[in-house]
Amino acid sequence: MCNIPGIISNGPAWFKSLGRGTDGGTKLFGVSGRVKKPGLWELPMGTTVRELVEENAGGMQDGYSLKGFLPGGASTDFLIARHLDVPLDFGSVQAAGSRLGTGP
Protein backbone atom coordinates (compact mmCIF):
# COMPACT_ATOMS: atom_id res chain seq x y z
CA MET A 1 0.00 0.00 0.00
CA CYS A 2 2.85 2.40 0.74
CA ASN A 3 4.01 2.17 -2.88
CA ILE A 4 0.70 3.39 -4.31
CA PRO A 5 1.46 7.15 -4.03
CA GLY A 6 4.78 6.72 -5.87
CA ILE A 7 3.17 4.58 -8.55
CA ILE A 8 0.38 7.12 -9.05
CA SER A 9 2.86 10.03 -9.18
CA ASN A 10 5.52 8.37 -11.33
CA GLY A 11 3.67 5.60 -13.17
CA PRO A 12 3.84 1.82 -13.08
CA ALA A 13 6.81 1.69 -15.49
CA TRP A 14 8.84 3.74 -13.01
CA PHE A 15 8.07 1.33 -10.18
CA LYS A 16 8.81 -1.72 -12.31
CA SER A 17 12.16 -0.18 -13.30
CA LEU A 18 13.24 -0.25 -9.65
CA GLY A 19 13.65 -4.04 -9.85
CA ARG A 20 16.70 -5.77 -11.28
CA GLY A 21 15.09 -8.61 -13.19
CA THR A 22 11.77 -9.95 -14.33
CA ASP A 23 10.03 -8.97 -11.08
CA GLY A 24 9.84 -5.22 -10.92
CA GLY A 25 9.70 -2.89 -8.00
CA THR A 26 10.96 -3.25 -4.48
CA LYS A 27 10.30 -5.58 -1.55
CA LEU A 28 10.87 -5.43 2.17
CA PHE A 29 13.62 -7.81 3.33
CA GLY A 30 14.33 -8.52 6.97
CA VAL A 31 17.44 -10.13 8.44
CA SER A 32 17.79 -11.37 12.00
CA GLY A 33 20.02 -13.82 13.82
CA ARG A 34 23.82 -13.81 14.04
CA VAL A 35 24.42 -10.84 11.74
CA LYS A 36 26.17 -7.64 12.79
CA LYS A 37 23.27 -5.31 11.94
CA PRO A 38 19.84 -7.00 12.00
CA GLY A 39 17.16 -4.94 10.35
CA LEU A 40 14.59 -4.38 7.66
CA TRP A 41 15.33 -2.81 4.26
CA GLU A 42 13.32 -1.93 1.17
CA LEU A 43 15.46 -3.12 -1.73
CA PRO A 44 15.06 -3.80 -5.44
CA MET A 45 13.60 -7.14 -6.40
CA GLY A 46 16.53 -9.23 -7.58
CA THR A 47 18.94 -8.15 -4.83
CA THR A 48 21.04 -11.19 -3.95
CA VAL A 49 21.12 -12.84 -0.55
CA ARG A 50 24.84 -12.04 -0.39
CA GLU A 51 24.15 -8.31 -0.88
CA LEU A 52 21.40 -8.39 1.71
CA VAL A 53 23.53 -10.13 4.34
CA GLU A 54 26.93 -8.59 3.67
CA GLU A 55 26.11 -5.04 2.58
CA ASN A 56 22.91 -4.31 4.48
CA ALA A 57 23.17 -6.55 7.54
CA GLY A 58 26.93 -6.02 7.91
CA GLY A 59 27.87 -9.67 7.44
CA MET A 60 27.88 -12.46 9.95
CA GLN A 61 29.05 -11.85 13.52
CA ASP A 62 32.66 -12.81 14.19
CA GLY A 63 33.05 -16.55 14.57
CA TYR A 64 29.83 -17.39 12.72
CA SER A 65 29.13 -18.40 9.15
CA LEU A 66 25.82 -18.56 7.34
CA LYS A 67 24.50 -22.10 7.31
CA GLY A 68 20.90 -21.60 6.21
CA PHE A 69 18.10 -19.09 5.87
CA LEU A 70 14.39 -18.82 5.15
CA PRO A 71 13.96 -16.55 2.12
CA GLY A 72 10.28 -15.95 2.68
CA GLY A 73 9.47 -16.61 6.30
CA ALA A 74 8.61 -19.57 8.48
CA SER A 75 6.35 -21.26 5.94
CA THR A 76 9.07 -21.48 3.24
CA ASP A 77 11.85 -24.03 2.80
CA PHE A 78 15.40 -23.37 3.96
CA LEU A 79 18.14 -22.45 1.52
CA ILE A 80 21.81 -22.83 2.42
CA ALA A 81 25.09 -20.95 2.00
CA ARG A 82 25.54 -22.10 -1.61
CA HIS A 83 22.43 -20.02 -2.43
CA LEU A 84 24.01 -16.68 -1.40
CA ASP A 85 24.10 -15.45 -4.99
CA VAL A 86 20.47 -16.30 -5.76
CA PRO A 87 18.57 -13.14 -6.75
CA LEU A 88 15.68 -12.49 -4.41
CA ASP A 89 12.90 -12.61 -6.97
CA PHE A 90 10.04 -15.07 -7.20
CA GLY A 91 11.36 -17.23 -10.05
CA SER A 92 14.97 -17.47 -8.87
CA VAL A 93 14.07 -18.42 -5.31
CA GLN A 94 11.57 -20.99 -6.58
CA ALA A 95 14.22 -22.48 -8.90
CA ALA A 96 16.52 -22.77 -5.87
CA GLY A 97 13.86 -24.82 -4.05
CA SER A 98 11.99 -22.36 -1.85
CA ARG A 99 9.61 -19.41 -2.07
CA LEU A 100 10.00 -15.69 -1.54
CA GLY A 101 6.88 -15.49 0.59
CA THR A 102 3.37 -16.72 1.01
CA GLY A 103 1.42 -13.49 1.39
CA PRO A 104 -0.84 -11.91 -1.21
Q: What is the 3-state secondary structure (H, E, C) of 3-48?
A: CHHHHHHHCHHHHHHCCCCCCCCEEEEEECCCECCCEEEEEECCCE
**Cα separation values, 85 from 5, 28, 53, Å:** 32, 18, 11
Q: Residue 95: what pLDDT? A: 96
Is residue 42 a contact partner of residue 27, using CB atoms and an 8 Å limit?
Answer: yes
Global confidence as pTM: 0.86
Q: Residue 103: what pLDDT? A: 62
Q: Residue 104: what pLDDT? A: 53
Q: Residue 22: what pLDDT? A: 85
Q: Residue 3: what pLDDT? A: 87
Taking phi over 0 as left and psi of -120 to 50 as alpha, with beta for the rest, 23 belongs to beta
Q: Residue 46: what pLDDT? A: 95
pLDDT tens per residue across all 104 residues of the chain: 888 999 999 999 999 999 998 898 999 999 999 999 999 999 999 999 999 999 999 999 999 999 999 998 888 999 999 999 999 999 999 999 999 987 65
Spatial separation of the C-alpha atoms in residues 38 and 53, rounded to whole Å: 9
